[in-house]
Each structure stands twice: as C-alpha cells, then as structure tokens.
Chain A
Amino acid sequence: MSRDLPNPGWGPLSTLPGNPLMWVLILSEMLVFTAFFALYAGQRALDPALFNASQQQLDPLLGGLNTLVLLTSGLCVALAVEAISVGRMQRTRLWLGAAMLLGLLFCGIKLIEYTDKFSAGLTPETNAFFGFYYGLTAFHFAHVLFGLALLGLVSWRTSTENVETAAAFWHMVDLIWILLYPLIYLLR
C-alpha cells in the first residue's frame, strides 16, 4: 500500500503530491493571508466610504492584467513539471525561463502601479486602505521575488523534486493573488 503513496513514511502528509514540507508551507501561508484578509474585511466594514473612495484611486485593469500574467506563468511552471517528468531537460528550462519572464513582467507592472500611486501622494500612511493596499500587495510581491529566485535556482539545479517544489511555491503565489485581486481592486 505504502508503495502507491507519493511520499511514503510521511504519515498524514504521505498522500500529498510533491514535497510534503512545501504543502505545510502553503497551508501556513494561506492561513496568514486569510488572517490579513479578515483584518482588511473588518476594517472595510467599519469605514466603507473611505475604502470605496480609496479604491477609486487604483487601476483595476492593471490588477487584472497582472492576474492574467501570473496565471500564465503558473501554466508555464506546470508545463515545466510535465517536461521534467519525462526527462526533457531543455524543455523544462525553457518553460521555467518563460515563467520567470512573466514573473518579472508582473513585478514591472506592480512597480509601475506603485510609482504611479506614490507620485500621486498616495503612501501607506495616507489612510487605512492604503496601509492595507501596500502591506498586502508588498507582502505578496516579496513572495513573487522569492519565487523567482527559487525558479532561477531550480533552472540551474534541475531535478524532478526541485522543479516540483519550486512549482508548488509558485502556484501558491498564484493562489494568493487570485484572492487578493478581487478583495483590493474589484469589490466596491
């Protein structure tokens, strides 16, 4: 029976695909972001007028574009895992490279957005909404940077386990952004 499990010897984690410790990280990161989202939702409930007025200063189209970019980079990473599973090293590196380029594009768009807001005098100290906006998106941005470093590392030290682990982290970054985008940009 244990021979059929992806990670025999890991107890309850043994049925999870890929590196079990990455799943522990994914779960803990999701819990941390859920706590922040709940805090944001609570603050919004206390002062919806301020949050609505502040949300108008954002560019939801840029946020949407970044969603499309990040989800496409997620596809590239998943295709890299498919490629490494059949031993196609060159193709794996190609998909990882494409994912990294898209990740950099995400960062570029985000930096344009930050620059635009800062030049309009909208800083984390402007009000509670912008405190959350910068706090949540910058925390996510830090994860994107870490994910890019991981993808770079596994492009160099390419193995099935390494690519699977980095891919799982990158998909978690996708997942958090999927929840962050409507919360900050869309719901008004």
Chain B
Amino acid sequence: MTALPGTRRLFITWVMLMGLTGVSMVSARLDQTTDWQTLSLWSVALVLVATAFKAHRVLMVYLNLRAATPAWKGIFIGLILVTLALIAAGYLAGRFNLMG
C-alpha cells in the first residue's frame, strides 16, 4: 500500500478546504441579499484561484496523488487548470460581450 497522508495532514487539508470555501463565498459577495451586483474581476479571480487550490489539495492529499509520478500529477493538475481556464474564458467572453 502507498504511504498515506496521515491523520494530521488530512485534518490540516480539511481546515484549508473549509477556509477556501469561505473565501470563495465571501469573494462572491453572498452577503448581498437585496443588491445582486456583478462581481469585480478581482473577486472572480479570487473565486477561481481558491477553486484551483481546493482541487489541488483534494487531488494531492485526499486522493493521495502526491505519491504518483510527476507526469500523472501534471496530467490531473493540467486538466483542472484547463477546466478553470474554459470557465474563466466563457465568463469573460460574456462579460465583455466578445460573442456579439
């Protein structure tokens, strides 16, 4: 069996994941109950960066991908980054009316 992350690392990761989810929710201004405004680009960037970091932690610690070769790590992290890039591209294209 591959070396596991260990209980301490798992708990630290969980705390980070909780915190990053909180960061995403605050960045997305979920406190705006009546005044629903478009997010600033900084907020959008923060939501996406927090999401990328959460996905990275789940892959590396929960799924224990850190035990695999750099090639496998690159494939999975690359796929996450491509996915987030597509999400960001669609969002920005809509925001700046790039699709007419």
Interface, chain A (partner B; CB < 8 A): 6, 15-18, 26-27, 30-31, 33-34, 37-38, 40-48, 51-52, 56, 60-61, 64, 67-68, 71-72, 74-75, 77-79, 81-82, 85, 160, 164, 168, 171-172, 174-175, 178-179, 181-183, 185-188
Contact = CB atoms under 8 A, between A and B. Distances in A.
Contacts of B82: 34
A174 B79 contact: no
A153 B98 CA distance: 49
A74 B28 contact: no
Given A52-B38, A79-B7, A187-B39, A85 B1 contact: yes
**B38, B83, B90: residue with the most chain A Cβ atoms closer than 10 Å:** B90
Interface string B74-100: 011001101110110111011101110
A67 B21 contact: yes
19 contacts: A15-B68, A17-B67, A27-B76, A27-B79, A38-B83, A38-B90, A45-B89, A45-B90, A72-B14, A75-B14, A79-B7, A168-B63, A174-B62, A178-B55, A181-B24, A181-B51, A183-B87, A186-B27, A187-B87
B47 to A, nearest CB: 5
B55 to A, nearest CB: 5
A171 B4 contact: no
> SS class of chain B's interface: helix, strand, loop or mixed?
helix
Contacts of B97: 48
Interface of B: 1-2, 4-7, 10-11, 13-14, 17-18, 21, 24-25, 27-28, 30, 36, 38-39, 44, 47-48, 51, 54-55, 58-59, 61-65, 67-69, 72, 75-76, 79-80, 82-84, 86-87, 89-91, 93-95, 97-99
B83 A60 contact: no
Contact of B1 (A6, A51, A64): A6
A33 B84 CA distance: 12
B10 A75 contact: yes
Contacts of B10: 75, 78-79, 82
Contact of B94 (A44, A61, A160, A185): A44
A42 B90 contact: yes
